[in-house]
Amino acid sequence: MKWMRFRIRTNEEAEDVIISEMVDIGLTGAQIEDKVPLTAAEKEQMFVDVVPEQEDDGIAYLNFFAELADDNTLTVTIPDEDAEDTSASDGTGDVSYQMEAAGGKQVKKTPEQLQKEIRQILDGISQYMDIGDGTISVDVTEDIDWMNNWKQYFHKFIVDDVLIIPSWEEPSEEDLEKTDKIFHIDPGTAFGTGLHESTQLCIHQLGKYITPGCEVLDVGTGSGVLSILALMYGAGHCVGTDLDKGAIPAIAENLEANGYTDKDLKLIIGNIIDDKKVQDEVGYEKYDVVLANILPVVLVPLAPVIGQFMKKGAVFITSGIMNEKGEEVAAAHRAAGFTDIEMIHQGDWVSVTSRKA
C-alpha cells in the first residue's frame, strides 16, 4: 500500500488549529514533529525509552497521510459530527493525532485537489494567526517506511560495561575494548530497550548487587532486558512477572538473541501484589535480588508485599521514579521494614535500593 504525505512546516502555536481545520477536508490523522520538551508529568505517564531532547526552536512539521491508489487518486475520510479528538505521544518528539469517528464518509480526491484545499486552509488560518512558513511538501511513502522509520532513533550505546546493540549495527573495536558484555536487542514499540534513564539506573545496580548463582525476581519484566542482563552479570536463574501477555514474545525474542532460553527466565503473567495464585507460583523467601522498574503508583503498594518472596538480607532495587517522587518510594521501603536505603540519580530519574532486614 502506498501513501501520499503532505508535510507542512509551521510553528508549535499553530499545530492544533491546523490539525483541527484539516479534518474538514478528510485528513483525520496527523503526525507532529517538534522539539517541545516533555514535562515531568508526561515523562512519568509515558515511561518509554525516549530520544534525548533537543533544544526547542519553535518549528513544527505536520505530516498528513492519504492512501494512494493505482489510478493516482487519494482516499480520505470525512468524519461524522460526533467524532472525538484523541492524541498520543511516542516519546520521540512525534505525536500521533487521530479523529475517532463513529462513522465517516470515504471520499476520492486527486493529489492536486487535496493540496489546493490544504493551501486554502493554511491561507485562511494565516489571516488571524502566525503559522510560520506554511510551506507544503509532497512525497509518497510505502508501508515499509512506517515499519522501519523508528530505527533512525535507536543506535548502539554503552551502559557501564554493557554494549546494547540492535541487529542492524556492528560493534566497533572501541566498543569491545570498553565493554565485556553485549546485549543484542531489536526494539519494538511496546517495551523497553535499556535506553531509558530509569532502566540504566537499574543496570548500574545490577553490576553492584548481582552475585554468581543468585536468584532474581523481576516485577514488571517487559521485554526482559533487566532479567537477561542479570543473567549476564552471573545470576543463576530469573523469574519475571508482568501484566501484559505481549511480554511473552518480546522476552522470547530477547532470550534467543542473547543465547538464553525459558529455562533461564521463567515468565508469569499476573499481578504479584494481589493475586495469590501468582504469588504461590513465584515462591516465598527464595530471591536474593528483586527488581521493579515500574512507576511509583505500583512501587508504593508493592513494597509491603514483596518482602515475603525475598531471603533475609536480599536486595530490593526499584526504579521508574521521577526525582520528586523518590522520597515517597523510599518512605514506602522504610515502612515495609527495609533498611540500608540507597538513592542514585540520573537526569530526572532516581532509583531506590534497600535491603530486607
pLDDT tens digits for 16-59? Answer: 899 989 988 998 778 888 776 655 554 544 444 444 445 667 78
Question: What are the Cα distances from residue 115, in Å, to 110, 119, 129, 259?
Answer: 9, 6, 21, 52
Tell whether domain 196-356 is in CATH 3.40.50.300: no
Tell me what pLDDT residue 355 has: 98
Provide the mean pLDDT of the chain.
83
Ligand-binding annotation for 270, yes or no, is no
Confidence of residue 194 (pLDDT cuts 50, 70, 90): low
Q: Which residues contact 314 (CB under 8 A, 6 or more apart)?
A: 287, 288, 289, 290, 355, 356
Ligand-binding annotation for 11, yes or no, is no
d(CA 282, CA 69): 53
Contact 243, 269 (CB under 8 A): yes
Of 78-92, 280-294, 328-342, the range with the lowest mean pLDDT is 78-92
The grid coordinates of residue 19 equal 490539525
Domain boundaries, the chain: 2-148, 196-356
State the residue for C-alpha cell 554494549.
163
More confident residue, 168 or 283: 283
Residue 220 has pLDDT above 70, yes or no: yes
Tell me what pLDDT residue 127 has: 94
Percent pLDDT > 70 in the chain is: 81
Ligand-binding annotation for 293, yes or no, is yes
Percent pLDDT > 90 in the chain is: 52
Task: List pLDDT tens digits, range 302-339.
Answer: 999 999 999 999 999 999 898 999 999 999 999 999 99
H/E element, 328: helix 326-335
Residue 83 has pLDDT above 50, yes or no: no
More confident residue, 76 or 80: 76
Q: What is the CA radius of gyration of the chain?
A: 24
Reference 250, options 186, 159, 199; nearest CA is 186
d(CA 169, CA 184): 10
The grid coordinates of residue 57 equal 526552536
CA 290, 196, 12 angle in degrees (round to 5)?
Answer: 145
Sign of CA dihedral 321, 327, 333, 339: positive
Tell me what pLDDT residue 245 has: 86
Contact 266, 278 (CB under 8 A): no
Residue 196 has pLDDT above 80, yes or no: no
Reference 9, options 135, 137, 140; nearest CA is 135
Ligand-binding annotation for 242, yes or no, is yes
Confidence of residue 99 (pLDDT cuts 50, 70, 90): very low
Confidence of residue 104 (pLDDT cuts 50, 70, 90): low
Task: List pLDDT tens digits, range 138-155.
Answer: 999 876 565 566 566 667
Of 90-104, 115-129, 201-215, 235-249, the range with the lowest mean pLDDT is 90-104
